[in-house]
Structure formats: C-alpha cells, structure tokens
Amino acid sequence: MSVHVIDHPLAQHYLAQLRDVTTQPERFRRISRHLTTLLVIEATRSITQREETVTTPIQDTSVSYLGEGLAAVPILRAGLSMLEPVLELFPDVAVGYVGLERNEDTAEARRYYMKLPRLEGRFCLALDPMLATGGSAAKAITELKANGAKKVTMVCVISAPEGIAYLQGEHPDVEIYTASVDERLNDKKYIVPGLGDFGDRLYGTM
C-alpha cells in the first residue's frame, strides 16, 4: 500500500485553515471542499483513459477521454463533506454511502447504514476526512470489496500513523491520499495535532 501526501502549497494552505480553531463552520465547509478537490485530482491519476480522434477547427487530432466511471462512497457523516467536489469534477459518478459510528469508549466502528451502487467496472473512492484508528475505513472498504469493488482508493484530509498501519494490515492493496500524516493518536483516539472532530466543526455541533 502506498501513502501519498499531497504537499502542494495550496493544499497545505487550506489544511492550515482547517486546523485553526477560530475557523467557523461556514468557512470550514468551503475550505474542506477546496482541499478535497486537490486530493481527489491526485487520487484519480491512474483512472483508465480511452483514446479517440476529434476534429478541431484546424485538423483531426488524437485525444484522451475518461475510460471508466467513478464510484464515490463517503463514510458518514463527515465524509459527506468530500462528495460535492467529486460530483463537480467527474461526469459519471455513482454514489454510495456507508454509515459508521464510533463507540467513544472502545473507538470501534459500528455500521448503521449502507447503500451502494453497482461498483463493478468503476474507479472506487472511499471518502473520510479523518483516518484515525483506521477501523472505520477498513470496515467500509471490506464492504466495498464484498460488493464488487476491485480496487479502492482511500481519500482523507489528515491521517495518523496508527490508522495507516491498521489499514495497511487489513487492506495492503489500498492506496491512501492525504494532506498530512500527523504525529499520533491521543488516549481518546483523536489525531494529534489534528483539527478536532471534523464532523462537529463541519456542522457546528461542538
């Protein structure tokens, strides 16, 4: 499994604003969309292309089109914030949802909802802004593979070394695209330095 840290200066500029405790929900949502756009563009570099010929105003020329559709599966609830940029970028997107809830005492994920499109033949993205323990991501990706996904790419805003290691153990074929690999998890399984609870900051439920 490869971990790709998107260290473009603009990505890091957006991440800095997401980390800032003074960033209010409306701005937090807008910045997260911008950062997700950069992450998803990088995460889909290996999407299949098909070659065709078109006629320009000057002459015929060879061009490349997207050769496969996308399946975007946000992990609820915070993953919803990453869906809109995918829908804006790509012309053919099938959307699924996996609802996972973390037990705050055990930090284990419990599935409470799942609705998936047909995944066969699509480039599959799992979307979750926080890769902390890796439990939710691993469980979601297991479900995606069981429902026909041949290859899944994980897209997250920030990640912890513990989460990366766990996901690598469960799904060594999955590539991770993130804006940062942070220091560690604290005793409550939150990412340090992190940016707090992404969902709470996103929706103003702090």
The tokens describing 12, both together, are 């890091």
Distance CA 188, CA 129 (A): 18
Instruction: Give phi and psi for 204, each to the nearest 5.
Output: 65, 35
Distance CA 8, CA 51 (A): 29
Q: Give the DSSP H/E element, type plus range, for residue 167.
A: helix 161-170
105 in active site: no
33 in active site: no
With contact defined as beta carbons under 8 Å apart, do 48 and 28 qualify?
A: no
Residue 105 is given by DSSP the state: T
Instruction: Give phi and psi for 119, each to the nearest 5.
Output: -100, -20
Of 29, 77, 102, 111, catalytic: 102
197 in active site: yes
178 in active site: no
Q: What angle do CA 69, 73, 79 make, to 5 degrees?
A: 135
Distance CA 80, CA 84 (A): 8
Of 61, 106, 142, 205, catalytic: 106
Of 7, 173, 200, 205, catalytic: 200
Residues labelled catalytic: 102, 106, 197, 200
